[in-house]
Structures are given as C-alpha cells and as structure tokens.
A and B are shown apart, each in its own frame.
Chain A
C-alpha cells in the first residue's frame, strides 16, 4: 500500500492516543452539538463527526470536535486531519474546507481521494444538523 508517511503517522497517532485526537462522542441531542454521519458499512467506510459550537457575536465557533470512523487507514487519517482543521473555526470558515485540503495535507494517493470527500461531506452534514437546531 503506497501510503505517505503522513497518512501512516496520522493513523498510528490516532489509534494510539484516541483521546488526544478527539475520538469519542457527544450526546447528539444536546442543542450545541451538530452530528454528521456519512458512508455505509457495505462501502467500507462510515464517518461520524460531531461538532460542539458556541455563539460568539453573530457567528458560531467550533469549540470542540469528536469523531469516530470505520474504514481504511486513510479514512481514519482523513477524519483525524479534518478534526484538527475544524477546531476554533467559525462555521463559515468550516464550510470553506474542501476535500482537496485534506488530500494535500495527507498526500493521499489517488485511489483514496474518496476518503477526503467523505470527510468533507461529514462536516457539511454536521453543520447542517447544528444550524437546524438553532
């Protein structure tokens, strides 16, 4: 498997220190939580992303993130990378994150681009869920 060192490191760090890398769950019913879950077991990957937001002025800021991912090494690395990108961002900024940013950050091989697409979809869905609650 031709993974970059970045994917391997990210994957290993995430599984070895899950708490430090925001693995976990929030209660999806809480009003300050937005949940996104994309993918399907039969396709080989499922990403669940949760954002915890706080209103600051007329915007909302992502204060904390939790995720869980079932999938190949690069799917796990992609979600972990995304989590780092999200922390501290406003929702407007978070919406600007594109899958290509993850591809670049992790040097994903072409056959694994779909992992980054999944990550992008998960944040879109989490934001949508959060905004619907407000």
Chain B
C-alpha cells in the first residue's frame, strides 16, 4: 500500500467531477486552427461539416447512454438550463390545458426557482414533502394531483442524499393521468442505468460535469414518442430544432459526448469499485456513536453518503477535516450558513441538519483516500465532542429537548 497520499482528498464528486483526461484530450482537439474548430451551423464549407459531424457523434453517445433517439437530445448550457427549459417550456406551451405543477421540496434550486418564477406568472405549484427517507412516491403525488395538473417534476437521484426515486412508478402514474413528467437526472448518468426507450418519462435533464465532462454543457431529453412540445426560452438562430438557439459549443459538446461514451463503457466497473469504497467507509463510520445516515440507506446510490454527526457542528467538522474536501449539506447553501433545506424537508431537527456532511466518491477515489479520511473523521469527531457541551449533556443523560435554551 502506498503511503504517499495526495492531499487534500477530493470527496465532493456530487458537486462536480474532474474532467477525465480522455475527455480533456477530445476537447482540446476541437479548439485551435489545427483542430476541429468550425461552427457546426456553417453549411458552406468543410470546417462546418466536420464540426457538425463531431456534434452529432457526441449526441449519439449521450443518447446511447440513456437509451433514447439522438433526435431527442437538445444541448443546453447545463442541467440548470435544461431544468428551466423543461419546466417553463412545458408550462408556457401547455398553459391552456392547466396551470398546476407538482414538484418536491428536495429538488435542486434550478427546479425550485424555475417553479417560483412560474408562480409569479400565475401558475400554481405544489411542493411535496418527501418521506422521512427522502423519497417521493406516487401516493404522495396522488394526494395532491388536480384536474389542471400539467407537469410533475421530480428528480431521479437527490444530490444531497443520493436517494433514488422510482421513475417507472411515477412515470406510469403520470402517463395514466395524462400529465407530463420531467426528471432532473443530473446525478444519475454513469451511476445507474437509464433506459428512456422503456421509461415513461417525457423530459429529462442531464449535466456533463457530474460525469467527468466539462462544466457549462448539458442536455435535455425531449420525448418524440409520445411527442412533447416545449416553448423555447432562448431565441435566436433556431438551433436545436428551434428549442434552444445559440451557436453550439463544439468543444464542450464533444467533451460531454466522450464523457458519456466512457460512462457507458465503464459504468459497471466504476459502480463496483465505488460500492466497495462505500462499504468500507460505511462499515467503519457506522461504528461511531450517535451518527445518523440521512436518506434511506437501502434506496440510494453508493457514490453519495450523507451523515449527521450528532452534537458536533458541521462547519467545525469540515474545518477539522481540512485535508478532506466535502460539503456540508449542499454546496449551494454552505455559503449562507443555513441548515440544508433538503434535510429540513426530511424532518431532521436543525441541529442534526447542521451537523451533516455529504461525502461523495468517484472514479478517482482510492482505498487509501478512504482509509485516511476515516482516520481523520474518527479523530475529529472525538475531539469536537470532547469540546461539545451538548455531548457532555448527552453523556450525563440530559434530554436536550427539555433544556430551556437562551436563543440569541
């Protein structure tokens, strides 16, 4: 076993992944004069034709990974734009049919904020509370569905918890009711198999940079059978069959294509390796007293593990683990120092929510990384608890809920 370990250790793959070196090579081949730099929309010369060829090959790789027709893939600037395009696109196009949308409280901000915007435009949105384990079920949806519901937008894998929703069940329900079903699958590609030729899903958002591709590129799957129409949100040259105008960024697109091609090829090996790392990590960390896994452990992906270390505050734990790059809650909220809205939606108390850390593993995580991290966690949690008046009270048998706290 090698003892020289590269510090800090990156365990924040759910936030973003490094670009795979094979992807980086592909990107750099599509930038300079001696490379394939043309505008794929240029019809009058070879530079344009060659670029278009690269773009279409990449589109096939993306379609191939998720089991759809390449013509169902629309390039966007990322999953945020794909989510916006799907939700606003459906709402705007089908508003004559109804103005009610169902989503959940634990969606990514890109979905929640797009819905908030639609509310300002006169739509009504129901934000479902998930189960305690962080899942959205058809019975939860059924309890709020209305005659004028036009869209259900539910994520596949939750970015903070790693919990996996049952798309087949929710999709079948939506089809039966004649409601469009959009899925944010930014965390899914290369982690779990997706076969859109069988899944009853109308729209699905993807991101490149969560799957070893570059940032700034993503895609939206828009089903052709049954045919789904969306209103464009970006107007211009009529690219992407009018659904998303803007010169296609060839280098980013080939990067996403290559990343998804590799994901298809290596998903099984990646998954097996990460499952072993997760097991090693979980087996050890679960021996620490008073820790809680957030999200249903039996229904989640193994690349994400969210744990609350009771009686230790999350930010101080992250500081004590300075050689480990992890997130407290979600990367988007850790700057605002509020407990994660996802954990609160699960019904976790604020103090447990703010003592949570998300560990996420990836293709380049090693056994040594995990071992080193575990030893640091054990040390840090022990030290911070020694320092914690709450831990002391817990050991003394005092129920913290009965204490009259002097809030400030």
Contacts from A to B (Cβ < 8 Å): 1, 3, 8, 11, 14-16, 18, 23, 25, 37-48, 68-73, 75-76, 111, 114, 117-118, 121
- A-chain residues with CB within 8 Å of residue B315 when the two chains form the complex: 1, 44, 72-73
Contacts from B to A (Cβ < 8 Å): 311-313, 315-316, 319-320, 337, 339, 349-351, 354, 380, 383-384, 386-392, 400, 405-408
Number of A-B contacts (CB under 8 A): 94
Contact (Cβ within 8 A) B351 A73? no
Alpha-carbon distance A72/B311, docked complex (angstroms): 12
Select from chain A the residue with minimum beta-carbon distance to B407.
Answer: A40
Contact (Cβ within 8 A) A8 B319? yes
Alpha-carbon distance A46/B319, docked complex (angstroms): 18
Select from chain A the residue with minimum beta-carbon distance to B390.
Answer: A70
Contact (Cβ within 8 A) B408 A44? no
Alpha-carbon distance A19/B316, docked complex (angstroms): 19
Alpha-carbon distance A48/B398, docked complex (angstroms): 15
Contact (Cβ within 8 A) B387 A68? yes
Query: Smallest distance from the beta carbon of A42 to chain B beta carbons, Å?
Result: 4
Contact (Cβ within 8 A) A39 B405? yes
Select from chain A the residue with minimum beta-carbon distance to B401.
Answer: A41
- B-chain residues with CB within 8 Å of residue A72 when the two chains form the complex: 313, 315-316, 319, 337
Contact (Cβ within 8 A) A70 B311? yes
Among the listed A16, A70, A117, which residue makes an inter-chain contact with B312, where contact means beta carbons less than 8 Å apart? A70
- A-chain residues with CB within 8 Å of residue B337 when the two chains form the complex: 44, 72, 111
Contact (Cβ within 8 A) B408 A69? no
Q: A70-B388, A72-B316, A73-B315 are in contact. Are A44 and B354 (CB under 8 A)?
A: yes
Among the listed A16, A42, A70, which residue makes an inter-chain contact with B389, where contact means beta carbons less than 8 Å apart? A70
Select from chain B the residue with minimum beta-carbon distance to A42.
Answer: B350
- B-chain residues with CB within 8 Å of residue A121 when the two chains form the complex: 406, 408
- A-chain residues with CB within 8 Å of residue B319 when the two chains form the complex: 1, 3, 8, 11, 72-73
Among the listed A25, A39, A70, which residue makes an inter-chain contact with B406, where contact means beta carbons less than 8 Å apart? A39
Q: A68-B389, A73-B315 are in contact. Are A42 and B407 (CB under 8 A)?
A: yes
Select from chain B the residue with minimum beta-carbon distance to A48.
Answer: B389
Among the listed B312, B349, B387, B405, which residue makes an inter-chain contact with A18, where contact means beta carbons less than 8 Å apart? B387
- B-chain residues with CB within 8 Å of residue A42 when the two chains form the complex: 349-351, 405, 407
Alpha-carbon distance A75/B312, docked complex (angstroms): 12
Alpha-carbon distance A73/B317, docked complex (angstroms): 8
- B-chain residues with CB within 8 Å of residue A38 when the two chains form the complex: 406, 408
Contact (Cβ within 8 A) B407 A43? yes
Select from chain B the residue with minimum beta-carbon distance to A24.
Answer: B386
Alpha-carbon distance A41/B339, docked complex (angstroms): 12
Query: Smallest distance from the beta carbon of A24 to chain B beta carbons, Å?
Result: 9
Select from chain A the residue with minimum beta-carbon distance to B313.
Answer: A71
Among the listed B313, B384, B392, B400, which residue makes an inter-chain contact with A44, where contact means beta carbons less than 8 Å apart? B313
- B-chain residues with CB within 8 Å of residue A8 when the two chains form the complex: 319
- A-chain residues with CB within 8 Å of residue B400 when the two chains form the complex: 41
Alpha-carbon distance A15/B319, docked complex (angstroms): 11
The 10 closest A-B pairs by CB, nearest first: A40-B405, A41-B351, A48-B389, A73-B319, A68-B389, A72-B315, A42-B350, A70-B388, A15-B383, A40-B407
- B-chain residues with CB within 8 Å of residue A117 when the two chains form the complex: 408
Select from chain B the residue with minimum beta-carbon distance to A112.
Answer: B337
Alpha-carbon distance A72/B388, docked complex (angstroms): 11
- B-chain residues with CB within 8 Å of residue A76 when the two chains form the complex: 316, 387
Query: Smallest distance from the beta carbon of B338 to chain A beta carbons, Å?
Result: 9
Sample 16 A-B pairs with CB under 8 A, ordered by A number.
A11-B320, A14-B387, A16-B383, A18-B387, A37-B406, A39-B408, A41-B350, A41-B400, A42-B407, A44-B354, A48-B389, A69-B388, A70-B311, A72-B316, A111-B337, A121-B408
- A-chain residues with CB within 8 Å of residue B408 when the two chains form the complex: 38-40, 43, 114, 117-118, 121
Select from chain B the residue with minimum beta-carbon distance to A79.
Answer: B387
Residue of A41, A42, A44, A118 ringed by the most chain B CB atoms within 10 A: A41
Contact (Cβ within 8 A) A15 B405? no
- B-chain residues with CB within 8 Å of residue A70 when the two chains form the complex: 311-313, 387-391
- A-chain residues with CB within 8 Å of residue B339 when the two chains form the complex: 44
Contact (Cβ within 8 A) B387 A41? no
Alpha-carbon distance A35/B209, docked complex (angstroms): 52
Select from chain B the residue with minimum beta-carbon distance to A49.
Answer: B389
Contact (Cβ within 8 A) B390 A23? no
Alpha-carbon distance A61/B388, docked complex (angstroms): 26
Alpha-carbon distance A11/B380, docked complex (angstroms): 12
Contact (Cβ within 8 A) B316 A73? yes
Contact (Cβ within 8 A) A23 B389? no
Q: A40-B406, A72-B316, A114-B408 are in contact. Are A46 and B389 (CB under 8 A)?
A: yes
